[in-house]
Amino acid sequence: MPYDDLLSIARTVTTRAAALAKQRRSEGVEVAGTKSSVVDVVTEADRETEALIRALLAEARPHDGFFGEESGAEKGSSGLTWIVDPIDGTVNYLYGIPHYAVSIAVVEGDPDPASWSALVACVVNPAASETYTATVGGGAFLGGAAIRVADSVEPAQALVSTGFAYDSVRRAEQGALIARLLPLVRDIRRQGTASLDLCSVASGRCNAYFERGLSPWDHAAGVLIAREAGAQVTGRGEAPPGRDLVLAAHPDLASSIEKILGQIGL
């Protein structure tokens, strides 16, 4: 397969980083700083894990670019860029909730979700010993098993996952929207880790996921995994998924969910 080498590197690096994150979690985790708000935290483990990923990728793929949550971007010369969230689900990680992941994707083109082409993705939840992978055109996998989105359902039977911003004003708006959505669907899940939310749609554990305000590293890998599992993943309408909106669901359900979200004020 054309992307086997990249997939092997992605899996090895993500797995090693996830093992480090799990080890640090077992030793105890503290807040090392805050970013956009007092509840948008970073831990030393975030920084240490990204440094490990950066070093391993520099050794394996010295001419590729890098774009990580904690240490920013570095342009490469190969046309490929690694999009890295060293610990997605940082608040879960801080509290010891076993639902966080190392998320790594390699993309072709500019490191801009509006235009990049994702080639390979790997998301590892070390607490659950689960590894999701995908290559473009090669399908999506949980461990060695191929995964597919759940069959389409009516919105009233849809289990919908979402997430909220770190900004309290945005959260008030998002909470009001969820109050309007809740009676229109089966139920809501707020699991706290965008990459795993997208993997939940890919593996049929949720029928749909939507969130506004995500950073590129939050969704880069999960979008490819969900798409390769048969999900439609977009922004609004035909727009690509990005900071304005990420919406993932079975193609026959996605348009109904988007219509409902529009009717209730998304």
DSSP reduced 3-state for 7: helix
* Residue 79: CB minimum distance to ligand LIP, A: 26
DSSP reduced 3-state for 249: strand
Q: Which lies closer to ligand LIP via its Cβ, residue 194 or residue 224?
A: 194
Q: Which residues of 105-135 are buried (b: 16+ CB within 10 A; e: fewer)?
A: bbbeeebebeebebbbbbbbbbbeebbbbbb
* Residue 48: CB minimum distance to ligand LIP, A: 15
* Residue 71: CB minimum distance to ligand LIP, A: 14
- For 183-232, the DSSP string reads GGSSEEE--S-HHHHHHHHHTTS-SEEEESS--HHHHHHHHHHHHHTT-E
Q: Nearest to ligand LIP by Cβ — which residue?
A: 163
* Residue 137: CB minimum distance to ligand LIP, A: 26
**Binding residues vs ligand LIP (CB under 6 A):** 85, 88-90, 163-164, 166, 192-194, 211, 218
Q: Which lies closer to ligand LIP via its Cβ, residue 148 or residue 171?
A: 171
Q: Which lies closer to ligand LIP via its Cβ, residue 6 or residue 102?
A: 102
Contacts of 133 (CB under 8 A, 6+ apart): 7, 10, 11, 120, 121, 122, 123, 140, 141, 225
Q: Which residues of 155-166 are buried (b: 16+ CB within 10 A; e: fewer)?
A: beebbbbbbbbb
Q: Which lies closer to ligand LIP via its Cβ, residue 71 or residue 152?
A: 71
* Residue 92: CB minimum distance to ligand LIP, A: 7
* Residue 77: CB minimum distance to ligand LIP, A: 28
